[in-house]
A = this chain, B = another copy of it.
Amino acid sequence: MLNDLKNPAPRDCGDCPIRHRAVCARCEADELEKLDQIKYYRSFEAGRTVIWAGDQMDFVGSVVTGIATLTQTMEDGRTQMVGLLLPSDFVGRPGRETAAYDVVAVSDMVMCCFRKGPFEDMIAKTPHIAQRLLEMTLDELDAAREWMLLLGRKTAREKIASFLSILARRNATLNLGQAGGAMSFELPLTREAMADYLGLTLETVSRQISALKKDGVIELQGKRLVNVPDFDRLLDEAGDDSDGGMLS
């Protein structure tokens, strides 16, 4: 498990691990105070569904710890992941009554939820929140567009390499800032969930991971722990611009 089974909800915003990255990042003390009055924590076990697409959704919120997925499903069961929610990511859309996507906790997860109505009021009255939400939404849109390139134009091998390099990069920024050298991280998703992320079948995911391993691009310790001896090599396999997709 990536997270403690006893997900301890922070006592108050001062202790909050996502205080400076979430939608509240720019809030002053008095604004946090107001948010505090409309917030509550919810915990979800790994595998639990947070909400189904189409259901009434009377809250929005932030992932505090753990990982969740946003997925869309067609009538015949084909599913596509459209979001991978990490700590500090925002869930829900102000101004919308119902959930547009299925939200599922992949690991044990804690969310900091805000009642929707009051939160909408705060957006209108608290520029710091609206600005931060705009910034986060623009970031998500950029990520979605990168993802579209992956889905539309990359080969199965490039898709896997891209996904792994995203995970590796995230891990590097969260921990130490070493790039270019060796790095390792844990796969948070099953083969099936990776397939839903990448628009592939789980068999193809498994085969391409095996192929990358055989070619020495990655090493596996167990099914989930990945070691990347040469990150530049992985980036190369991902087919990304050599500049590492530097934006802004």
Which residues of A are interface residues toward B (Cβ below 8 A)?
70, 72, 74-76, 78-80, 82-83, 93, 95-98, 100-101, 123-124, 127, 130-131, 133-135, 137-138, 140-142, 144-149, 151-153, 198-199, 239-242, 247-248
A50 to B91, CA, bound (A): 34
Chain B CB within 10 A, most for which of A124, A144, A241: A144
Q: When the two chains form their complex, are residues B80 and A149 in contact, meaning their CB atoms are under 8 A apart?
A: yes
The answer to whether residues A198 and B74 also contact, given A137-B134, A137-B137 and a CB cut-off of 8 A, is: no
A82 to B152, CA, bound (A): 10
10 contacts between A and B (CB under 8 A): A74-B240, A80-B153, A95-B135, A95-B248, A130-B134, A133-B134, A134-B134, A141-B144, A144-B145, A151-B152
Nearest CB of B to A150, in Å: 9
A127 to B70, CA, bound (A): 29
Work out how many copies of this chain go into the complex.
Answer: 2
A52 to B83, CA, bound (A): 28
Set of chain B residues within 8 Å of A248, measured between Cβ atoms = 93, 95-98, 100
Q: When the two chains form their complex, are residues A142 and B95 in contact, meaning their CB atoms are under 8 A apart?
A: no
Nearest CB of B to A119, in Å: 13
Known: A70-B145, A83-B145, A152-B198. 15 other contacts (CB 8 A): A72-B149, A74-B240, A74-B241, A78-B153, A93-B142, A95-B248, A96-B247, A100-B145, A124-B131, A130-B131, A134-B137, A137-B141, A140-B141, A148-B148, A151-B152
In the complex, the chain B residue whose C-beta lies closest to that of A74 is: B239
Nearest CB of B to A44, in Å: 22
Task: Identify which of B134, B135, B151, B241 contacts A148 (C-beta below 8 A).
Answer: B151
A161 to B98, CA, bound (A): 27
Nearest CB of B to A62, in Å: 16
Set of chain B residues within 8 Å of A142, measured between Cβ atoms = 93, 100
